[in-house]
Each structure stands twice: as C-alpha cells, then as structure tokens.
A and B are shown apart, each in its own frame.
Chain A
Amino acid sequence: MASADNEDRDDAAEYALGTLGPADRDAFEARMARDPTLAAEAAAWQERLAALHAETGPAEPPAHLLANILRRLDDAAPNNVVMLKRSADLWRRATIAVSAIAAVLLIAVAVRAPWQQTEQKGLYVAVLQGQGAQAAYVAAVDVKSRMMVVRSLGAHAPDAHSYELWALGAGRAAPQPLGVVEAVARVPSEQLGRTSDTALSDTTLAISLEPVGGSPTGAPTGPVLFTGKLLPAN
C-alpha cells in the first residue's frame, strides 16, 4: 500500500532526525528489527544527515570517563560480549527445557567425581546461550585435572556444517580456536593457554557455525551462535 510506504519513509526520516515521540520511536524500532528495508532506510537517513556534523566542534570529555565506562562493561549482560551475528532461526527450532542452573550442576558433577567434591577450588563453568537466552551447551574447566568438558544440551550443527569452539577475552588478541564440538568435546585446559584464576574468569567461550571440520582460516568465518562466560563454580 503506497500510503503506508510513505508513512514508513517519513518515519525513517524523522527517526534519524530525532523528532519521533518516545512511543513512535519505540514502535519504529520494533518495526525496524523485523524489516531490514526499513532499517536500511533509517541508516541512509542517518548517513545523509551526518554531514551536518562538520558544524559540530569536538569537545574533550573528562579523563576519568573511560575508566567508568570500562567498569560498566562488566555489568553489561553476558550475551553482550561476543554476539557477532546471531542466526536466530537455527536455534529457535531446538527446544531444550533444561534450565541453565540445572545444566551447570549436571556437568559440574560429571567433570568431578562425587568423592572429590569437598575440594571445590579450580572449577569454572559456563553456559553457552544463543538467541532468547536458551542454554545450548555447557562447559566446565577443572583446573586440577586440566580438562575442559563441553557438552551439548541437544543443539547440533546443521547438515554440511560444524560447530567450532573458541575462547575469547583475557587478553587474547583474536578468538582462539579450540576445535570442533559435537555432542561432547574434551579439551585439555592447556589449550586455553591462560589458566590462571583471573584469566579463566575473563574468558568467554563461543561457538560459531563453520564448514565441516571447522574454520579453514583459523578465525571464525560464520556467525557466532552461542556464547557464555566462564564463572568460578565456588
């Protein structure tokens, strides 16, 4: 319908200008999330108007702000860390009813035999989540036995693809490849390279969609589908 299209175009322009009221803006953002054409339209408007910033002189913010910002990054939700691009539909089809906490407990027990459980130090766990915060994989690193176990909660790579595991953060300049994961993967924890308490706590695990056998380049080539931060279990 032509009039609705015109309305969309006008909204995209006013969205970029900033004059939509709060309710209209929220509604427009929701529409944009569903409609890539509309998102492109709004982005094109932002680009058109951005030339006006030639008129805006720079202003130096106070020096302490960066430290404040960096502190706040830790509080940003865990799925903020590395969701490069999420392939939502892939995961939506899987319906895993295991709660994240139950999953962590399950694997924590699997990694460490019951008679060893009095000694809790050196156990790190992660829940790798995809779109909609559903748990897809759980991982546990046992520092003492030097082993990381990654277990699927039902997710599996689609035909003609593999899932590949990566470690990020803790000073790594680029995602570090940890190999292809299927239902269960056991990775010697030395492969993580950094196994100090702080390094493990700063590590995020991610799973990307790759060609069969894993990324040919040593860096993720497909979308990152699941991510989770390692947390000390004790």
Chain B
Amino acid sequence: MDFQSDASVLADLLGRTASGDRAAFSRLYDLTKAKLFGVIRRILVRADLAEEALQESYVRVWSNAYRYDSGHASAMTWMIAIARNQAIDLKRKANERVAAQAVALEDVSLQATETSAEDSADYRRLRQCLGGLGEDGRDMVLLAYHQGYSREELAQRFSRPVATVKTILRRSLAALKECLDGKR
C-alpha cells in the first residue's frame, strides 16, 4: 500500500490494536505484511528465518502497540523498525554472513542512485544526500540499512578495521543529517 497517504489509517489501526482489538490487528497485518516481509527478506535470505522474523515482528507489534507515539514516527516507520530489529537479531543468531555476501554485490540499491519524479520528495532528498557521501560511506550505510550488515561484516567486506568502519559510519550519518536538515 502507499503508506504515505494511508498513514492515519495505520495509526488508527495501531491504536485499536493497543486496546486488544484483534480485528484491527488482522487488518493492520493485511495492509503492512508485504512491505514488512519485503524489508525482512532483504536482510534474511533464508525463507524459514524470514517467516520467523515476520511472525515475531507482529507479535511485538501487538504487545508494544501501546508504546507507539504518533508524534515521534509514522506507524509504518515504527513497524519497519521493529521488523528490521527482529530480522537483524535473527540474522546475527543464524550467522547468515555467507548468503548475504553472495547477493550483496548484485544488490541494486548500491547502484541505483538515479531517482525519478515518481519517487517521493523525501526519498529523492535522501538519495541526493547519500550521493554526497564518499562511495564507501554510502555503500556501508546502504548495506547496513537494507541488508543488516554489522560493523564486523562491513569490515570484512571493505577490508577495513572495525574501528575504521565505525568512524566512517558515524561520519557518514552525521554528514547525512546535516545534508537532510539543510535541505528542509
């Protein structure tokens, strides 16, 4: 679904989920499952783990819905954060390093710096700011965000010490924030 335009619908369903409304929860699941599963599948290549992460994510959505604060983040962002955390946890546990590296090189997200007018303004702005980072910084941020790479995995992939990866990540994120905030 287009989560920009339907943000208030999701927030409302999340509110009703917080009061124990299973019908609202099921509807919320139907509207968001494909997006969350897409997010999870990029981090977890193995289908069984991805399904486990999705189930765990929605159980958490159910039990933590009362914590959701619409003033802080959109409902979709809040749910994506839960799904990413679950997927990253499972990935670390299952140590899926090999599988993730095998697909990483082909990953379109690293090359696709071109945006089109159909993309949201937020996305275009973010892509533009990412383009302003060094190549390593940009790729590290994207691999970490989309595929759940840890600092150690990035260090291995980029043949850099872990401490250097940490420095690059932090410097890149700070530059990203400055760029994004400057463009508002």
Contact = CB atoms under 8 A, between A and B. Distances in A.
Contacts of B119: 54
Interface of B: 18-22, 25-26, 29-30, 33-35, 37-42, 51, 54-55, 58-59, 62-63, 66, 69, 72-74, 76-78, 80-81, 84-85, 88, 92, 108-109, 112, 119-120, 122-123, 125-126, 141-142, 144-146, 148-151, 154, 169-170, 173-174, 176-177, 180
A222 to B, nearest CB: 14
Contacts, number: 154
Given A16-B81, A53-B39, A84-B18, A46 B58 contact: no
30 contacts: A10-B170, A13-B174, A13-B177, A14-B173, A17-B173, A19-B149, A19-B150, A19-B151, A19-B154, A39-B72, A44-B72, A47-B74, A48-B176, A49-B126, A50-B73, A50-B74, A50-B77, A51-B120, A51-B126, A52-B145, A55-B146, A59-B38, A59-B41, A65-B54, A66-B29, A72-B55, A73-B25, A83-B66, A204-B20, A224-B66
Given A9-B174, A53-B39, 8 more contacts: A13-B170, A17-B141, A39-B72, A52-B109, A52-B146, A56-B35, A56-B146, A61-B54
Interface residues of A, number: 55
Contacts of A52: 109, 123, 126, 142, 145-146
A155 to B, nearest CB: 20
Contacts of B126: 48-49, 51-52
Contact of A56 (B19, B42, B148, B154): B42
A58 B37 contact: yes
A60 interface: yes
A158 interface: no
Contacts of B122: 51
Contact of B72 (A40, A57, A66, A86): A40
Interface of A, secondary structure class, is helix
A61 B76 contact: no
A84 B18 CA distance: 6
Given A19-B149, A21-B151, A46 B73 contact: yes
A56 B38 contact: yes
Interface string A12-43: 01101111011000000000000000011001
